[in-house]
Amino acid sequence: MAAAATSSIAPSLSCPSASSSSKALRSSKASTFAFPNIGFTSSASKSLRSLTAAVAGNGAGSSLSARMVASSSSTVRAPISLDFETSVFKKEKVSLAGHEEYIVRGGRDLFKHLPDAFKGIKQIGVIGWGSQGPAQAQNLRDSLVEAKSDIVVKIGLRKGSKSFEEARAVGFTEESGTLGDIWETISGSDLVLLLISDAAQADNYEKIFSHMKPNSILGLSHGFLLGHLQSMGLDFPKNISVVAVCPKGMGPSVRRLYVQGKEINGAGINASFAVHQDVDGRAADVALGWSVALGSPFTFATTLEQEYKSDIFGERGILLGAVHGIVESLFRRYTENGMSEDLAYKNTVECITGNISRTISTQGMLAVYKSLSEEGKKDFETAYSASFYPCMEILYECYEDVAAGSEIRSVVLAGRRFYDKEGLPAFPMGKIDQTRMWKVGERVRKSRPAGDLGPLYPFTAGVYVALMMAQIEILRKKGHSYSEIINESVIESVDSLNPFMHARGVSFMVDNCSTTARLGSRKWAPRFDYNLTQQALVAVDNGAPINKDLISNFFADPVHGAIEVCAQLRPTVDISVPEDADFVRPELRQSN
């Protein structure tokens, strides 16, 4: 795993009394819905030398009725099986929920292999200075210095960009040949890491491709560009290799854990990698070297297509959008039912970002339930039963919008609306932390004792875990590997992102992420808020019976064992996110 809340906070399992939990909401329970079949055989990118993809099994899928959620292997589509070859790093086999997958463990002791992994590469061009650019550029540079490599890491920015000052502040300069114009940097690099916004990639890909050297390698940290090209019936030029290394966390987390982990071996953010094109047989080793240099504790294989589907979907789901939506809904619910504003904030945001996240990170979802009193368990089941399908309904729609290209197109168009055009004004992204709830959060944090993880409120826990399980089920039905499912639904949420909301609220979490993530969170958060309010909480008020099959399936789900395996790969350092963090986006630093 990547890490959990701050390294200084310690759990305080202060479970509310039965009366305090029940008073705010009492009866939840979801009515029994019948959902249509969402199983299908997922298509993978074409097999290419070092990375091969094949569908393991051909189960026919099953309708997602309340009686058949993740309880039987016959209802779950077998995930894509990915294998790869590497001549530099050690490949390991792991078994996740009965499915064999292959990973490469990271660690600073592997930095000595970077010159071999990057054989033939003299310059790595890091293009862009958004969420991922600063972190990846610095981590790569520091790792290569430790490896005693003479490979140059050079930042490429558009002329006039205010990011030149930020890059210079961390040691990249024109005089040293490590900072320059975007097009010159692309033309002179053997490995081009394209870390500009997805919308900018969509608008500039032709010029980018035209400036790349033949046989050079295009590196992506998101599969968005492939999705955009596919929507137009296009693909990448055939004279370059195309790989991806996709850290399962925002850029500031990638850098923060790398720096925190300098005293130990292996702290960082997990990453997936993919080889989409390999023109000369080097692609897998280059991608794995890149991931190891970023500090990834373990790297797992995916395809570029599976990556963008799970990633764009995930950030609109539990990673950002959905968690924002559910805490807004629950905060209103609790205050309307007489709870004080401060306590309502603690029982929603602080509960999720602190106690629940830490427990899931280190012990898994079942441990959250087991830590509750008997009355608390009833409230958890009430919330879980009522929330699972309303959450799944939005998640299902979101995944299909991503897979169909609708979300990709939405991001591209939104990026163009940031500027005046066609006689219409510019509409940049607005703020998301100005309502009463988030002002209450500021007050709560000022009086929060150091290291406090907040309460463990059973109803909030039931809603959050139901959301997490619903997202897991959608990705499982769509054929994603368990490594991808667990990282996109569990690890990235509790270890990388929630600590930022714990430190300074929802905007500090969302707006430290990519433009695509920020747009998606703003678009989908209200949908989760609406569905939870209009469906789940109405079911609670109407006294709908608890769906016992749904609860039994939660207890028996094989994902719990898979999460335990992933937890064993977790670094020993938890991410520390102080309110005055200087490793975040400049506009989000407290001094500003």
Which positions are annotated as active-site residues?
222
CA distance 119 to 125: 15
CA distance 132 to 258: 13
CA distance 103 to 126: 25
CA 185 to chain CA centroid, Å, is 29
CA distance 411 to 356: 32
CA distance 199 to 205: 10
478's torsion region: left (phi>0), alpha (psi -120 to 50) or beta? alpha
Cα-based distances in Å from 175 to 50, 142, 165, 258, 433: 38, 19, 14, 27, 41
558 class by beta-carbon count within 10 Å (0-12 exposed, 13-18 middle, 19+ buried)? middle
CA distance 500 to 353: 8
CA distance 156 to 201: 14
Do 126 and 133 meet the contact criterion of CB atoms below 8 Å apart?
yes
Beta-bridge partner residues of 96: 99
Q: State whether residue 191 is helix, strand or coil.
A: strand
Beta-bridge partner residues of 574: none
Amino acid at 284: A
Q: Please name the residue that has the structure tokens 């002791």.
A: 109
CA distance 61 to 58: 9
Q: State whether residue 584 is helix, strand or coil.
A: coil
Q: Where are the alpha helices (DSSP H) in 338-449?
A: 341-345, 357-363, 365-370, 374-403, 406-416, 436-446
Tokens coding 202: 């969509």
Neighbour count for residue 108 (Cβ, 10 Å): 20
Tokens coding 73: 């292997």
Query: How wide is the angle at C-alpha 563 spanned by C-alphas 85 and 289, nearest 5°?
Result: 30
